Amino acid sequence: MAVTNKNTFELYLCEKPSQGRDIAKALGLTQRNDGYIQGKGLLVSWCIGHLLEMMPPDAYDSRYKRWSINDLPILPQHWKLEAKKSTKKQLMVIKRLLKQCHSVVIATDADREGETIAREVLDYLNYGGATRRLWLSALDTVSIQRALNSIRHSGETLPLYHSGLARGRADWLIGMNLTRAYTLLGNDRQVRSVGRVQTPTLALIVKRDRDIAGFKPQPYYEILAYFQPQKNQKLLETRWQVPKQKTQAILETSSEKNLCLDKQLAQAVISRCQNQYGTVTTASTQRKKQAPPLLYNLSGLQQEASRRWAYGAQEVLNIAQALYETHKLTSYPRSDCEYLPLSQFNDVSIILQALCKNDPSLCELLSHANQKQRSRVWNDKKITAHHGIIPTQATPGCQRLNTKEKNIYDLIRRRYIAQFFPDYEYDQSIILITIAEDQFKASGRIPRIYGWKQVINSNPERNKKNIQSSAEKELPAVEKGEQLLCDHLKLQDKLTSPAKHYTEGTLIKAMETIGTQVTDKVMKKILRETAGLGTQATRANIIQTLLQRKFIKKDKKVIKSTGLGFSLCDAVPETIKDPLLTAQWEQQLDDIAHKKGQNIDGFLQQQVDLLKAIISHIKQPAGNHSSHNKSQYKPGDLCPDCNHPLETRQAVRGKKIGQTYIGCSHFPDCRFYSWA
């Protein structure tokens, strides 16, 4: 039925049709039309993902159809969007509906991308009316109704749109310009796609592959010593400890991992300890407790599914999206949070009842849950835009789920159920035995209360066996000060091993935690430990893009770079492939989204400055690089201000972003620098 009265409706603008149908149902709207649903003075319509896309360079100037290094960098002054051909019809539906509306409720996904999808359409269609924001955490009936009862002022989420614009425009600037630049430099008709997040992610994989390829195993030696307890016939196995306060001889023969690298040194330990009495200097047993693990966020879910079943990151996201959107069994999946607001505690009983109704096989387990127990996941101070991924109150049953959906759903629900079980408790025993200057250690761990660990595995009996098999052996009863005879010692020859190739799960982890790997003093001061490459919502797509463009390949479970990936990584400048610098940009986008001082213009100007510096370097003929501005200082020279060594650094902000300079290693106490 066509809308005829002008300015009489309020429009709920959703992200996709299924979401629109769910919201229309909650609103009690039943009148279906082509591209929208209406009733009660309300309209519900939807985008189909992004209805608009950024226009290519030749839309700004026809000469850009031909790729030329002389035209770079291409820097639009006024950004242009155009309707996607595949969804233009739906855009026209929304355009017509807006003319009949006095207000709009933005009801897209509650994240940066969802905000951008809706607002770019409203801006493109020059909508000037009132707006509000529906913020959904799940699509089951109860969650939608709650959100409808607490619709937000749209100004609260407007910064997310600014962040989305900044992200899209930065990706266009870097991608369009540097893809053209390095494709032209390759001169072999092979497109070399460069991306703001894609290329640093590739650099992580390339570096890991090269570290493995160049790794040379190093022999090291471990010493096992066996002591005879006076009250027990069974020998006590201990391991020699490389001294923490190393002598110069040990320092020269031990690696950073505190391994003994000198066989003669190891044999000397055996010679002097054989048939000697050792004194028990420590004999302790402590009861340890381990609280239930936090809830899953998307990265955690992807990592666990990769470890257990080798599921791909994009595959897990698709499954989690189906559980949220199609089956209504779980909350919003693209969350970066592992906690719940205190208000959610009121829903515990209803959610557990729903879990039992959906899957009666859980009822016995759930009967032991302490619904009054409030674990550490309930913490309002830890909540970001969304809470951790949890099961909903919906009760459609699990019969419709396929095997992979059941596996992911089981991970989510069991992590939630675990919050209502006791801590896992075990006895940790440590025995230290000293012979003169040599120390030997034995440790044991005995499970005492399985607590939440009985919940995490879907097979309780197998879970119990796993806990028991992973437990260390029980140690004999000895007393501090007791003298034990060293019966014999063993020398074990071993080899150091390289790092492992990334899997999709471990790569997601590396992208997420890049901020913790900072050693550079300047970057450490700037970068928060929570900074990462990409976001929860984009990391899977980044990996997928690298696979599709054949920069990386999957070899069974592991990810490896291809020849094309190696060559691209070698070609681009350090700035573009530096994961930490890219993580800093992602941090700045987050600051825009949360109004923390950063703004879209300043962020984009950084990208422009970087592009100009890179393109200028590319255009400069080989052998014609100016040297009259080169610094008189070199890495390793002493700082003229404080006498500490100088080192090479890279500018991370300002007009010279990406350029190298010589700086003092004593930063931030000393701020001397000289441009290289």
H-run or E-run covering 52: strand 52-54
What's the chain's average pLDDT? 89
**What is the percentage of the chain residues whose pLDDT exceeds 70?**
91
**178-182 CB contacts, 8 Å cutoff, 24+ apart:** 178/572, 178/576, 178/611, 178/614, 180/67, 180/69, 180/72, 181/69, 181/72, 181/614, 181/615, 181/618, 182/568, 182/571, 182/572
Domain ranges of the chain: 9-156, 219-291+429-495, 298-420, 623-676
Kindly list the strands in the beta sheet with 660-664, ordered across the sheet, starting from the edge strand earlier in the chain: 646-650, 660-664, 673-675
**Do residues 561 and 211 make contact, with C-beta atoms less than 8 angstroms apart?**
no
Residue the block writes with tokens 């992580």 = 204
Q: Tell me what pLDDT residue 573 has.
A: 85
**What is the percentage of the chain residues whose pLDDT exceeds 90?**
69
Is pLDDT above 80 for 468?
Answer: no
Q: pLDDT by residue (tens digit) across 304-314? A: 999 999 999 99
Q: Tell me what pLDDT residue 134 has.
A: 96
Is pLDDT above 90 for 276?
Answer: yes
Catalytic residues: 332
Is pLDDT above 90 for 266?
Answer: yes
Average pLDDT over residues 627-636: 63
Q: Tell me what pLDDT residue 624 has.
A: 42
Q: Which amino acid appears at position 254 of this protein?
A: S
Average pLDDT over residues 328-337: 93
Is pLDDT above 70 for 443?
Answer: yes
Average pLDDT over residues 347-353: 97
Is pLDDT above 80 for 651?
Answer: no
72-86, 267-281, 637-651, range with the lowest pLDDT:
637-651
Band (pLDDT 50/70/90 cuts) for residue 528 is confident
Band (pLDDT 50/70/90 cuts) for residue 653 is low
Q: Residues 6 or more apart from 322 whose CB is under 8 A from it?
A: 405
**Which carries the bigger pLDDT value, residue 525 or residue 574?**
574
Q: pLDDT by residue (tens digit) across 153-187? A: 999 999 999 999 999 999 999 999 999 999 998 87
Is pLDDT above 60 for 1?
Answer: no
Average pLDDT over residues 227-250: 78
Is pLDDT above 50 for 3?
Answer: no
- CATH tag for 298-420 (out of 1.10.290.10, 3.10.129.10, 2.160.10.10, 3.20.20.450): 1.10.290.10
Is pLDDT above 80 for 622?
Answer: no
Q: Tell me what pLDDT residue 664 has.
A: 85
Residue the block writes with tokens 């955490």 = 137
Average pLDDT over residues 92-106: 96
Cβ atoms < 10 Å from Cβ of 638: 12
Is pLDDT above 50 for 629?
Answer: no
Q: Tell me what pLDDT residue 517 has.
A: 76
Q: Tell me what pLDDT residue 631 has.
A: 60
Closest CA to 412 of 280, 315, 304: 304
Q: Tell me what pLDDT residue 318 has.
A: 96
Average pLDDT over residues 315-326: 96
Is pLDDT above 70 for 402?
Answer: yes
370-374, 571-575, 643-647, range with the lowest pLDDT:
643-647
Closest CA to 418 of 385, 443, 455: 455
Q: pLDDT by residue (tens digit) across 187-208? A: 777 888 999 899 999 999 999 9
Alpha-carbon separation of residue 634 from 523, 626, 656, 663 (angstroms): 21, 17, 19, 10
Running DSSP on this structure, what letter comes out for residue 58? Answer: G
| HEC profile of 306-335 | HHHHCCCHHHHHHHHHHHHHCCCCECCCCC
Same fold for the pair 9-156 and 298-420: no
Could you tell me the pTM of the whole model? 0.83
53-67, 143-157, 162-176, 596-610, range with the lowest pLDDT:
596-610
Q: Which residues pair with 12 in a beta bridge?
A: 44, 105
Band (pLDDT 50/70/90 cuts) for residue 628 is very low
Q: Tell me what pLDDT residue 545 has.
A: 94
Class of domain 219-291+429-495: mainly beta
Is pLDDT above 90 for 139?
Answer: no
Average pLDDT over residues 333-360: 94
Q: Tell me what pLDDT residue 514 has.
A: 87
Band (pLDDT 50/70/90 cuts) for residue 409 is very high
Band (pLDDT 50/70/90 cuts) for residue 625 is very low
Q: Tell me what pLDDT residue 2 has.
A: 43
Q: Tell me what pLDDT residue 244 has.
A: 72
Q: Tell me what pLDDT residue 201 has.
A: 95
- CATH tag for 9-156 (out of 3.10.20.30, 1.20.1730.10, 3.40.50.140, 3.40.50.1950): 3.40.50.140
Band (pLDDT 50/70/90 cuts) for residue 232 is low
Q: Tell me what pLDDT residue 597 has.
A: 78
Q: Tell me what pLDDT residue 620 has.
A: 76
Q: Which amino acid appears at position 345 of this protein?
A: F
Q: Tell me what pLDDT residue 656 has.
A: 63
Average pLDDT over residues 214-234: 89
Q: pLDDT by residue (tens digit) across 384-395? A: 878 999 999 999
Q: Which of 239-253, 573-587, 654-668 has the highest mean pLDDT?
A: 573-587
